[in-house]
A and B are shown apart, each in its own frame.
Chain A
Amino acid sequence: MIQQTQFTKTVGNAAEINELLRRYGVKFGIYKNGVFNEQFFPFDPIPRVITAEDFASMEKGLIQRVDALNEFLFDIYHDKKIVKDGIIPEDFIYISKGYLAECEGITPKNKIYSHISGIDLVQAKDGEWYILEDNLRIPSGASYPLIARELTRIAAPLAFAENEIVDNRGYAQLLKETMEHSNCGGIRAILTPGRYNAAYFEHSYLAEHTGSVLVQNDELFVEDNVLYHRTYSGGKTRIGVLYRRIADEYLDPLTFLPESLIGIPNLMEAYRSGNVGIINAPGNGVADDKGIYYFVPKMIKYYLGEEPILKNAPTYLPFYTEDMKYVMDNLEKLVIKDVAEAGGYGVVFGSELSKEKLEEFRKTIIAEPRRFIAQEVIDFLDLPILENGDGMGDTQTVMRKADLRAFVLSGEKTRVWASGLTRFSRNPASFVVNSSQGGGFKDTWVLKQVNSEQ
Chain B
Amino acid sequence: MSTISKEHSDRLYWLGRYTERFFTTLRALDKMFDKMIGKTHVYPEYLNYFGLADTYTDDRDFIRSFLFDMSNLNSAASCLERAYDNGIVLREEISTESLSFLQIAKDTLKKAENNGSIRLSLLPIEDIIYSFWGSVNEHIFDDEIRNIIYIGKTVERLDLYMRMKYPYEKVKLEYVRLLKNLRRVPKGTPYRYNTAQLSVIEETLGTREDYERGTGGAIDSLGHLFDTSEVYA
Minimum C-beta distance from B107 to chain A (A): 7
Give chain A residues whose Cβ lies under 8 Å from the Cβ of B189: 232-233
Give chain B residues whose Cβ lies under 8 Å from the Cβ of A237: 3
B209 at the interface (CB under 8 A from A): no
B179 at the interface (CB under 8 A from A): no
CB 8 Å contact bits of B1-41 with A (1 = contact, 0 = none): 01111111100000000000000000000000000000000
CB 8 Å contact bits of A172-210 with B (1 = contact, 0 = none): 000000000000000100000011000010001101100
Give chain B residues whose Cβ lies under 8 Å from the Cβ of A194: 89
- Complex CA gap A121/B71 in Å reads 46
Minimum C-beta distance from B100 to chain A (A): 5
Instruction: Verify A215–B5 contact, CB threshold 8 A.
Output: yes
**Nearest residue, chain B, Cβ from A204:** B91
A234 at the interface (CB under 8 A from B): yes
Give chain A residues whose Cβ lies under 8 Å from the Cβ of B91: 204-205, 207-208, 214
B118 at the interface (CB under 8 A from A): no
A218 at the interface (CB under 8 A from B): yes
A230-B99 CB under 8 A given contacts A25-B88, A204-B91, A208-B91: no
Instruction: Verify B5–A231 contact, CB threshold 8 A.
Output: yes
Give chain A residues whose Cβ lies under 8 Å from the Cβ of B188: 233-234
Q: Which of B6, B92, B95, B104 contacts A232 (CB 8 A)?
A: B6
A205-B96 CB under 8 A given contacts A24-B103, A232-B8: yes
Give chain B residues whose Cβ lies under 8 Å from the Cβ of A412: none
B232 at the interface (CB under 8 A from A): yes
A30 at the interface (CB under 8 A from B): no
Minimum C-beta distance from A394 to chain B (A): 23
- Complex CA gap A367/B131 in Å reads 63
Give chain A residues whose Cβ lies under 8 Å from the Cβ of B107: 22-23
Determine chain B's interface SS by DSSP, over half rule. helix
Minimum C-beta distance from B19 to chain A (A): 16
**Nearest residue, chain A, Cβ from B3:** A237
Give chain A residues whose Cβ lies under 8 Å from the Cβ of B9: 232
Give chain B residues whose Cβ lies under 8 Å from the Cβ of A232: 4-6, 8-9, 189-190
Instruction: Verify A24–B4 contact, CB threshold 8 A.
Output: no
* Interface residues in B, total, Cβ within 8 A: 25
Minimum C-beta distance from A36 to chain B (A): 13
**Nearest residue, chain B, Cβ from A208:** B92
A107 at the interface (CB under 8 A from B): no
- Complex CA gap A229/B232 in Å reads 18
Instruction: Verify B190–A233 contact, CB threshold 8 A.
Output: yes
A156 at the interface (CB under 8 A from B): no
Instruction: Verify B103–A208 contact, CB threshold 8 A.
Output: no
Give chain B residues whose Cβ lies under 8 Å from the Cβ of A23: 100, 103-104, 107
Determine chain A's interface SS by DSSP, over half rule. mixed
Minimum C-beta distance from A342 to chain B (A): 26
Minimum C-beta distance from B225 to chain A (A): 16
Give chain B residues whose Cβ lies under 8 Å from the Cβ of A187: 3
- Complex CA gap A440/B107 in Å reads 22
A229-B96 CB under 8 A given contacts A204-B91, A214-B91, A234-B188: no
Give chain A residues whose Cβ lies under 8 Å from the Cβ of B92: 204, 207-208, 212-214
Instruction: Verify A24–B3 contact, CB threshold 8 A.
Output: no
- Complex CA gap A237/B92 in Å reads 17
B186 at the interface (CB under 8 A from A): yes
Give chain B residues whose Cβ lies under 8 Å from the Cβ of A213: 2-3, 92
Minimum C-beta distance from A430 to chain B (A): 31
Instruction: Verify B5–A230 contact, CB threshold 8 A.
Output: yes
Minimum C-beta distance from B106 to chain A (A): 10
**Nearest residue, chain B, Cβ from A237:** B3
- Complex CA gap A204/B232 in Å reads 29
A216 at the interface (CB under 8 A from B): yes
Give chain A residues whose Cβ lies under 8 Å from the Cβ of B88: 25, 195, 200, 204
Minimum C-beta distance from A191 to chain B (A): 12
- Complex CA gap A184/B192 in Å reads 34
Minimum C-beta distance from B129 to chain A (A): 15
A25-B6 CB under 8 A given contacts A204-B92, A205-B91: no
Give chain B residues whose Cβ lies under 8 Å from the Cβ of A195: 85, 88-89
CB 8 Å contact bits of B205-233 with A (1 = contact, 0 = none): 00000000000000000000000000010
Instruction: Verify B232–A24 contact, CB threshold 8 A.
Output: no
Instruction: Verify B103–A219 contact, CB threshold 8 A.
Output: no
* Most chain A beta-carbon neighbours within 10 Å: one of B8, B9, B107: B8
List residues of B whose CB falls within 8 A of some A CB. 2-9, 85, 88-89, 91-92, 95-96, 99-100, 103-104, 107, 186, 188-190, 232
A204-B92, A207-B91, A213-B3 given; 17 more Cβ-contact pairs under 8 Å: A25-B99, A25-B100, A200-B88, A204-B88, A205-B91, A208-B92, A208-B96, A212-B92, A214-B91, A219-B6, A219-B8, A231-B3, A231-B4, A232-B5, A232-B8, A232-B189, A232-B190
26 pairs from A and B in contact (CB 8 Å cutoff): A22-B107, A23-B100, A23-B103, A23-B104, A24-B99, A194-B89, A204-B88, A204-B89, A205-B96, A208-B95, A213-B3, A213-B92, A214-B91, A214-B92, A218-B7, A219-B7, A229-B3, A229-B5, A230-B6, A231-B4, A232-B4, A232-B189, A233-B186, A233-B188, A233-B190, A234-B188
